[in-house]
Amino acid sequence: MPAGLTDLQAPASSPNHGDRRGQRPQLIVLHYTGMADAASARARLCDPLAEVSAHWLVTEDGLTEALVPETRRAWHAGAGSWQGRDDVNSRSIGIELVNPGDSPFPAPQMAALCTLLRDIMVRWSLGPETVIAHSDMAPGRKIDPGPRLDWQGLARLGLATFVRPGPEDPDPPIGPSLDRLGYPACDADTRLSAFRLRHRPWGRGPESRADRQTAARLAASSA
């Protein structure tokens, strides 16, 4: 167990958690709550009838609250997979950002998220490639945290991955690159939409050269 984790083993605010089934955190999954305010989100994440939870809740004004100890399995990811492995709940830490789903993420919230990500990554020896969107692991089922999250800003701080291709980058087929990154198998359009949500939210229409080049550069940088 990582040093300094004792304070994260206090009684949970949410009862919705379980054993990690022999796994340890290998991913950090970012979500938005999709609810009107922090109180509503917290109530749902702590409701035993809802059977959902997350390790952390970050409000619009930057308040960061632990709901489930990081040593426990929170119920945030649901069905899906990443890098060929399912049961993402057992091997991830979930962060819920209070946001209704159609609003920008305020600066205090993003600053708090950056601090939280740094701390988690140090505690569990995780790199920027381990920080993913809920939509990455569940294409077609989930779209959070959506196109408004500043992934590029997180990447500048070493807290996520984000690239822009150059005009001379190679242009290989996109499928193998998405496989290498970890996207689960599904129909090509659904997977492209999930990829764009995270890496090219301005992308529209059929698959483009820029999509392929971006995916290839990301795959090469994560090798």
Alpha-carbon separation of residue 1 from 16, 75, 99, 115 (angstroms): 22, 21, 32, 21
| Cα 81 versus chain centre, distance | 12
| Cα 217 versus chain centre, distance | 20
Within 13 Å of residue 174, how many CA atoms lie on the same side as its CB? 20
Q: Is-catalytic flag, 168? A: no
Question: Are the CB atoms for 133 and 184 separated by under 8 Å?
Answer: no
Residue tagged active-site, from 65, 96, 129, 168: 96
Q: Which residues are catalytic?
A: 96
